[in-house]
Structure 1
């Protein structure tokens, strides 16, 4: 048992299926998406360029039954 600070879209399925219990919801961030800060005046390493590209890609959210 423990706490984890994880993006909601990653854990939503587990919460909906009862495997995880959300806590401290009053302090959840309210902005959509991810934010990444990096020095853009320097040449990007190939690894950082891949991370940025991966964060730009967003899979559509799973359909909810209802």
Structure 2
């Protein structure tokens, strides 16, 4: 299969709009896990800050805004 730029841009646009509608808690410690089900929807789970999926170091998330 060949990579199609238009399909990738369309998916990215739709996904980022979904993120904007979904993410309501603007906090550096809030973690959202987005999972795409093959040929289906994108499932979202809000996880605790100490989740195995957390990757930002505390020195970064604790920086003053």
TM-score category of the 2 structures, normalised to the smaller one: under 0.3
Q: What TM-score do you get using the length of structure 2 for normalisation? A: 0.21
- Which protein has the bigger strand share? 2
Relative CO higher for 1 or 2, CA cutoff 8 Å, sep ≥ 6?
1
